[in-house]
């Protein structure tokens, strides 16, 4: 894949919050101008002083992000890996140590969100394999390095689909599974100085989520406007909102926070749905219960 365009970046901080650390971000590839969360974290973490390993199964997408990191003066390398293959996960983590000297931060961001309106065992297995088992395999690859170094921080990019119904069944199961995995791993590795937290994005404007408006709406739906109105601020979130939350978990500022899940959703999952209806009404046609 060859992109002519490059990612559009907002004004970003450079406060050295990850100075001297090495961060692996899975699924950090990108395409076009709109950053996904993986690309946003790779760029922000690099600007904050980290050496970043961009892990992705797609070389074109990985190199697109690499160019963006280097364009802002950051340090990064690419590792092409399918996170469902244990050897590839190990090679990626080993490469980070070989190239940068450590693995201090691992972000499990790689995921797929296919249409699940027609389910099958194959689809279930693929979604759970990438979105849940892949995260486990990357943890298995990175944790020995973290233990040897005396600690580290793992950030799982979950989803509000792991907290509330409304998305695909396998996708939701995998994202909910990440939360259980994080809590259990936080216990298992806590005394080794390893913290594990979950960032659960809501309806943020990233390539993966654009267009999602839930099932059952008839007529004209302005999906982006509706998703903005579902939150308490009435504004759309971005990949950078997710990246700044992950930055806190990645950095030593959160040293006393582990096994936590934070939704980055402008309160969407904390409010009674019916009180939001007046806000949502302007962006949709009508709702069909047969939907
Ligand atoms: N609004 C939303 O879309 C929304 C909401 C909640 C949570 N999320 C979560 O946020 C994250 C979105 O990530 P993004 O914005 O970077 O998505 P993206 O689609 O831009 O990038 C995902 C990357 O993962 C890579 N990938 C897919 N399978 C892989 C594999 N087996 N091995 C290695 N890499 C693989 C892809 O090549 C791609 O570059 C995901 O974890 C998603 O589940 C999204």
- Measure the CA–CA gap between 19 and 45, rounded to whole angstroms: 9
CATH number of 22-214+234-271: 3.40.50.720
Gyration radius of the chain's alpha carbons: 19
Q: What is the pLDDT of residue 222?
A: 79
- Residue range 46-92, pLDDT digits in tens: 999 999 999 999 999 999 999 999 999 999 999 999 999 999 999 99
Pairing between β-strand 286-287 and β-strand 217-218 as defined by DSSP bridges: antiparallel
Cα 201 to middle of ligand 1, angstroms: 12
Please, are residues 216 and 174 in contact by the beta-carbon 8 Å criterion?
no
Domains of the chain, by residue range, sit at 22-214+234-271
Q: What is the pLDDT of residue 217?
A: 63
Q: How confident is the model at residue 142 (pLDDT cuts 50, 70, 90)?
A: very high
**What is this structure's pTM?**
0.95
Which protein residues are within 6 Å of ligand 1, measured from CB? 26-27, 29, 36-38, 56-58, 61, 81-84, 109-113, 130, 134, 157, 159, 201, 203-204, 206-209, 239
Please, are residues 37 and 157 in contact by the beta-carbon 8 Å criterion?
yes
Residue nearest to atom 36 of ligand 1 (CA): 27
- Residue range 10-34, pLDDT digits in tens: 999 999 999 999 999 999 999 999 9
Would residue 244 show up in a list of annotated catalytic residues for this protein? no
Q: Estimate to the nearest angstrom the gap between the alpha carbon of 167 and the chain centroid.
A: 16
Helix (H) or strand (E) holding 118: none
Identify the three-state secondary structure at position 160: helix
């Amino acid at each position: 894949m060859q992109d002519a365009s490059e990612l559009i970046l907002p004004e970003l901080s450079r406060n050295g919050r990850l100075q001297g650390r090495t961060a692996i971000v899975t699924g950090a590839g990108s395409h076009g101008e709109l950053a996904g969360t993986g690309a946003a974290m790779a760029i922000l973490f690099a600007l904050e002083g980290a050496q970043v390993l961009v892990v992705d199964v797609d070389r074109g997408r990985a190199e697109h992000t690499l160019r963006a990191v280097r364009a802002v003066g950051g340090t990064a390398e690419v590792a092409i890996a399918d996170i469902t293959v244990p050897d590839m996960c190990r090679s990626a983590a080993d490469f980070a140590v070989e190239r940068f000297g450590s693995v201090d931060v691992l972000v499990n961001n790689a995921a797929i969100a296919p249409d699940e309106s027609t389910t099958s065992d194959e689809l279930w297995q693929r979604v759970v394999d990438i979105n849940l088992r892949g995260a486990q395999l990357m943890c298995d690859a990175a944790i020995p390095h973290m233990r040897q170094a005396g600690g580290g921080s793992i950030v799982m990019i979950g989803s509000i689909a792991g907290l509330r119904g409304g998305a695909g069944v396998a996708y939701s199961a995998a994202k909910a599974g990440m939360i259980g995995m994080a809590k259990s791993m936080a216990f298992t590795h806590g005394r080794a100085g390893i913290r594990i937290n979950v960032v659960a994005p809501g309806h943020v404007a990233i390539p993966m989520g654009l267009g999602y408006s839930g099932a059952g709406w008839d007529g004209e739906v302005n999906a982006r406007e509706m998703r903005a109105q579902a939150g308490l601020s009435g504004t759309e979130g971005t990949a950078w909102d997710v990246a700044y939350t992950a930055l806190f978990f990645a950095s030593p500022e959160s040293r006393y926070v582990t096994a936590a899940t934070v939704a980055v959703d402008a309160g969407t999952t904390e409010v009674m749905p019916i009180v939001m209806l007046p806000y949502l009404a302007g962006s949709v046609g009508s709702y069909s219960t047969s939907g």
